[in-house]
Amino acid sequence: MELNTVNYKHSPGGSCASVAWSGIFKHHGYNLSEADIFGLGSGLYFGYCAVGASKLFDISLTSSSIIDDLMINTGVHGKLIQHHNNSDCLNLILKSIDNGNPVALLFNPYYCEGLIQITPIETQKYLPAHWIVITGYNSNHKTLISYDNRQFNPIEISFENFMKGRNTGFFDQNPRNFLYNVLFFDKVYPMETSIKLAIQKTCINFLDVEKILSFYVGSYGFEKCVRQIKQWNLMLSPDQLQQLLQKIYISSTGAGGIKGAYRNLFYKFLENSASVLNKPEIYEVANLFKESAYNWNIFVQKISEYQHEYNELNWGNNSELSNLLQQIFDLEISGFTSLRKITQ
């Protein structure tokens, strides 16, 4: 057969991981939105990297273990396997399609045509490895049919580019041949318990963890960032500062697809959680994150303005970015402190 596709319903969105796995879960009968997947994967995060000696700074706003957490929190049996042999991996994916199952795949963003088309050239280097969903293949054209989170229509990827996109790119862009072997979708836990587990883990990240790898995390990271952001212009040259601001813009907006630094997704997840858990007090907390998302939008707009023109007045003790970040921190720490108590 020339063309083989699964019956897959794609809903575009801002977060590539959450959109991809929302599609997979929906395919298996679990109506989880992008926001649900994000929340259940304990995706909300704040990390601040500051290695002054190497002039290495960064802000990270989503958890890197969102899919592992999603699997553990929902009870779906999913094991991350490295498949080094490209042909074997391709055959696995084709077999999955033949069995009627789509496959979520992490890929070098440079081989994701949909993403590259909408990302300015100068910021493409900041794109991390990208999630897409393979929903079919054309054996005559030797192409895979895929969906990208920001696009409505499917895109074809050649088998050749599939091979190239599996283990190339610098560290953050390199998917390193990983593929999740997901087997037991019928082992999904009751939503109530999954939500509590996921929220508690997000709270642990924010309230209890100080550092993960080179990132200062959660409240500790926020405090450090609020202090240091005032002096980024002193610690970095204008060029380095511009590059840092570009990088932060890409990561905080999901390459332009996300508003509110993922806090909008978390707010929607909390609204749904309030209903599932029958705890109306969570609506109040959700509103804190809605407000936080609004402030993050302003923060990101400022980042975008500052990256185009260096102005010393934007930095120092009266730094607007620092003040905004402080306001965001106040909202989020209040939110997480309440969430911990409510979902105990």
Partner 1 sequence: MNYSNNIAYCISEYLNCRYNIRFDERICYLLTCSLGLQMFFKDSALTPSKEVGINSINECYIESFNPLALETFSTNIRAVLRIDHNDDLNDIKWIAYDFENFNKMKTLVLVSSNIFNNKNIIGNHPVYGLVHIQDSVNSESDLGEFKTKSINIDFHKNSSKKINISHFFNQWSVSGTDIFNANRYVLIPPKFRDFNIAIPYLLKNALVNQFLIITEGGKNRQIGSQLFYNLKNDLLRNNSADNLLKHINLFIYSFNKSDILGVLDMDRCLAANCFEYLYQLNLIKSTEIIDTLKLSSEVWVNIRGFIKTNKNISISEMVDVYDKLYHSEILFEKHLKNILSAWN
Rule CB under 8 A: which residues touch partner 1? Answer: 42, 64-65, 68-69, 71-73, 75, 77, 79-82, 84, 92, 95, 178, 181, 183-184, 186-190, 193, 196-197, 200-201, 203-205, 207-213, 217, 219-220, 340, 344
Strand partners, 246: none
Is the alpha carbon torsion for 97, 103, 107, 109 positive or negative? positive
Q: Which CB, 69 or 148, lies closer to partner 1?
A: 69
Please give the helix or strand (H or E) that residue 275 lies within, else none.
helix 263-277
CB of 89 to partner 1, least distance (A): 10
Q: How far apart are CA 261 and CA 245, in angstroms?
A: 14
Distance of CA 84 to the CA centre of its chain: 25
CB of 144 to partner 1, least distance (A): 18
CB of 213 to partner 1, least distance (A): 6
Q: Which CB, 193 or 301, lies closer to partner 1?
A: 193
CB of 298 to partner 1, least distance (A): 29
Q: Which CB, 127 or 203, lies closer to partner 1?
A: 203
Please give the helix or strand (H or E) that residue 216 lies within, else none.
strand 215-217
Q: Which CB, 84 or 227, lies closer to partner 1?
A: 84
**110 DSSP 8-state letter:** G
The total of other beta-carbon atoms located within 10 Å of residue 74's CB is 27
The total of other beta-carbon atoms located within 10 Å of residue 191's CB is 17
Q: Which CB, 152 or 184, lies closer to partner 1?
A: 184
Q: Encoding tokens for residue 246?
A: 């570009």
What value, to the nearest 5°, has the Cα angle with vertex 299 and ends 302 and 340? 175
* Nearest partner of 184 among 82, 101, 280, judged by Cα: 101
Q: How far apart are CA 276 and CA 156, in angstroms?
A: 39
Q: Which CB, 71 or 134, lies closer to partner 1?
A: 71
Q: How far apart are CA 129 and CA 151, in angstroms?
A: 17
Q: How far apart are CA 163 and CA 86, in angstroms?
A: 6
Q: Angle between the 238-253 and 281-308 helix axes, to the nearest 10 degrees?
A: 150
CB of 212 to partner 1, least distance (A): 5
**167 DSSP 8-state letter:** S
Q: What is the largest CA-CA distance in the chain?
A: 66
Q: Which CB, 100 or 316, lies closer to partner 1?
A: 100
CB of 142 to partner 1, least distance (A): 21
Q: Which CB, 181 or 301, lies closer to partner 1?
A: 181
CB of 278 to partner 1, least distance (A): 17
CB of 167 to partner 1, least distance (A): 10
